[in-house]
Amino acid sequence: MRGLCAVCKGSRLLCGLKTCPILKAILRRQSGLSNLSNDFSGPSTSVFVGRIGYPEVGVGPLAVIPEQTDLELSTAHPAEWLAMGMDRLIELRGTTLRARKPEHIRSKTGFIADLKELAMAERPTDVELRFGSKPTFKFAFSDILPPTGASVRVENMRIVENPRIPKKVERIVTDDLNAVEAVNMLYSTGVDVYKLSEILSAGILGRNRVKKLVPTRWSITATDDIVFRYLSAELKDYPPLDSFLVYESMYLGNRFVILLLPSLFEYENFEIWFSGSLWSRGSSSTILGEYEGYNGRKRYATDEGGGYYAARLAVAEALSRMRRQAGVVVFREIEPSYVLPLGVWVVRETVRAAFRNRAEKFQRLEEALSYINSRLLSDIKELKVKSKILGQRRLDDYWR
Amino acid sequence: MFEAEIDAGLLKECVEAIVAVVDEGKVRISDEDLNLRAVDPSNVAMVTFQLQRDAFDVYRFSNGDGAELEMGIDFPKLGGILGIGGREQVRLSVDDNVQKLNVQMGSLTYTVNLLDPSSLRKEPKVPELEFPVQVVIDTEEFRRTIRAAEKIGEHILFGVEGDEFYMEVEGEMDKLRLGMRKEQLIHLTPGTLHSLFTLDYISAMSKGMGHVDHITLNLGKNYPLQIEFEIADGKGKVSYLLAPRVE
């Protein structure tokens, strides 16, 4: 059960139960805040596409209740959320309202057309919503998505101001590009993955014939993967690093220690869920590892899921700025204090933050590993034996 | 100028043997043979390949100064092209500035752009290795064990204990061991040693062995593994080298 929970993270219900008991316990504790009426007027910050019932899914705007929130902070880039503690973050996300209407992923209703506008807008856009019932607060947590405060069925939506859509976005999305090309172009003009995944999810990208909505959960990881592939093609033309670098960062019980090795690109990601942490309820910690070689991976990283892709993207961004390639081993230790899953942005932003810190530099692998051992709670010897990268000798060890 | 004709099946076998380790590499063409030496991007596995001119039905090579020609090849692509044709003869020709390879199968001619050899990774040096133990084993027996091992774990132990050769893989729950005594093998140097390897690499190599009926394993203690075999009725040679894992 313990290993199963770490792999599932409450998302795939691998245990066979109808709902995740861990998530449910958390939900019960957090429910019951205040009530709203059937009519709503306020800013829509984003759009949300569900995955349950695919290809008939719940779709709608993600709104915030203006009187109850710090609008600026709740719509800020997730990098700025790193300054907040868990409580503040939950409070902030608790004021988000997920309005949804059942739609087919290929639906072309006016409601969907309006949603596309909201998804492309660079700033929150004021909307009026009529709900099917009174919304009640009910927190939703996930390993991939940031938490949301409430979910309610929406009957009608009216956009009450002109969404501000950046010219470059407008231009690229009206070209008949496939989704991968469009994501790459948007990214290279400076659109960050958060906006990109929203645009992808709203069914704006792709050849005209095959445009469709993409569940938000899938679009987040798809975007991380597409942008990574774009960066990695370039990366492989860069010279390898000439020394060992170690980067580090910590956020809400998630400790990242990242080792870059002077070699061609290869990537390994460890998740060490300590005993008593969210997805490891047993008496010992659960260690997961995923690896890909220079030529990349073909299969989904099932054991680690979205976190693997989010960290890999942030690493590729950093290497791309350095104009170097490297072998990469990411160690993520998750302490019991990470009591709620907050979404995969935690991984992406904490890794991005690590590369904003100064690196420790070493000339020899053994020195780098002994430093890492002093930074991690886990034993590096145990991880080294499990590691595809660190546990493998190289032919050039024998060239003498 | 290089022109040659060869059996399609044999050429496919050569490509498969190389692709087991690398996707791209420099094939050198000389008066005597085609040869290649390449290491995988992670610097863990190496392939050395040689195919003599008499393995070809037609082999014409002329280069003004008698030097070798270097041809940068994308092997999965070449393999794909060969997959289109049947088991007929394949005619290969390379233009003078070595930019295009023509692959002619019956009335079908496929022209592939070659890779610029200077854009490819440098050829590895050949390490000077001494292997105390040699094992010659039936290929099918070897391949069957590797296939079974893939279901169990990620690492495989190759060892010799007295006059027994063994392959051993341990998963979380299961363990698999193949033990073969000297008389069940074609050849064995007795000894006591073992080395641990990443199974992925060996699986790939086992798929590069085609129809070869036996292979030679050269082993040491916590040391690289060398796998050698002959192709084209002894007119060609393939050798793999694989670095061990830390134990």
Compare CB distances from B127 to A385, A392, A399 and report the shortest one's residue. A399
**With a cut of 70, which residues of chain A have pLDDT below it?**
1-4, 16-19, 21-35, 68, 137, 281, 400
B214, B139 Cβ separation under 8 angstroms = yes
Q: How far is CA A369 from CA A52, A374, A392, in A?
A: 44, 9, 14
Q: How far is CA A13 from CA A16, A119, A301, A343, in A?
A: 6, 30, 17, 17
A322, A260 Cβ separation under 8 angstroms = no
Is A396 at the interface with chain B, CB within 8 A? yes
Query: What is the reported pTM?
Result: 0.87
B117/chain A closest Cα distance in angstroms: 15
Neighbour-count burial of A311, counting CB atoms closer than 10 A to its CB (0-12 exposed, 13-18 middle, 19+ buried)? buried
Compare CB distances from B43 to A263, A265, A388 and report the shortest one's residue. A263
Please indicate, yes or no, if residue A253 is contained in any of the structural domains.
yes
Please indicate, yes or no, if residue A254 is contained in any of the structural domains.
yes
> What pLDDT score was predicted for residue A32?
40
Please indicate, yes or no, if residue A7 is contained in any of the structural domains.
no
> What pLDDT score was predicted for residue A34?
54
CB contact under 8 A, B245 and A390: no
> Is the same domain home to A30 and A153?
yes
CATH number for B133-242 (one of 3.40.50.620, 3.40.50.300, 3.30.530.20, 3.70.10.10): it is 3.70.10.10
> Is the same domain home to A187 and A261?
no
B216, B131 Cβ separation under 8 angstroms = no
Domain boundary among A235, A253, A276: A235
> Is the same domain home to A145 and A290?
no
CB contact under 8 A, B198 and A392: yes
Report phi then psi at B130, rounded to 5.
-125, 125
> Is the same domain home to A172 and A40?
no
Please indicate, yes or no, if residue A329 is contained in any of the structural domains.
yes
Nearest C-alpha neighbor of A94 from the set A173, A27, A155, A47: A27
Range of the domain at A309: 244-399
Interatomic CA distance for residues B101 and A204, integer angstroms:
42
> What pLDDT score was predicted for residue A22?
65
A165/chain B closest Cα distance in angstroms: 42
**With a cut of 70, which residues of chain B have pLDDT below it?**
none
CB contact under 8 A, A393 and B243: yes
> Is the same domain home to A152 and A196?
no
> Is the same domain home to A274 and A225?
no
> What pLDDT score was predicted for residue A121?
94
Give chain B as a DSSP string.
-EEEEEEHHHHHHHHHHHHTT-SEEEEEE-SSEEEEEEE-TTSSEEEEEEEEGGGSSEEEE--TTSPPEEEEEEHHHHHHHHHHS-SSEEEEEE-TTS-EEEEEETTEEEEEEPBPGGGSPPPPPPP----SEEEEEEHHHHHHHHHHHHTT-SEEEEEEEETEEEEEEE-SS-EEEEEEEGGGSSEE--EEEEEEEEHHHHHHHHHT-TT-SEEEEEE-TT--EEEEEEEGGGTEEEEEEEPPBP-
Q: How far is CA B167 from CA A21, A51, B212, in A?
A: 44, 46, 20
> What pLDDT score was predicted for residue B223?
96
- CATH fold of B2-35+51-119: Proliferating Cell Nuclear Antigen (3.70.10)
Interatomic CA distance for residues B141 and A261, integer angstroms:
38
Residues 276-305 of chain A whose Cβ lies under 8 A from any Cβ of chain B: 293-295
Domain boundary among A175, A210, A235: A235
Q: Where are the domains of chain B?
A: 2-35+51-119, 133-242
**Kind and range of the H or E run holding A327:** strand A327-334
> Is the same domain home to A253 and A223?
no
Residues of B near A (Cβ–Cβ under 8 Å) read: 23, 39-46, 124-125, 127, 129, 198, 224, 241, 243-246
Report the residue of chain A nearest B119, measured CA to CA.
Answer: A237
CB contact under 8 A, A395 and B45: yes
Interatomic CA distance for residues B6 and B57, integer angstroms:
6
> Is the same domain home to A205 and A321?
no
* Cβ atoms < 10 Å from Cβ of B233: 9
Q: How far is CA B142 from CA A317, B207, B245, in A?
A: 43, 11, 20
CB contact under 8 A, B245 and A263: no
Report the residue of chain A nearest B247, measured CA to CA.
Answer: A385
CB contact under 8 A, A264 and B125: no
CB contact under 8 A, B243 and A395: yes
> What pLDDT score was predicted for residue A282?
75
CB contact under 8 A, A264 and B127: no
Collect all residues of chain B within an 8 Å Cβ-Cβ radius of residue A266: 41-42
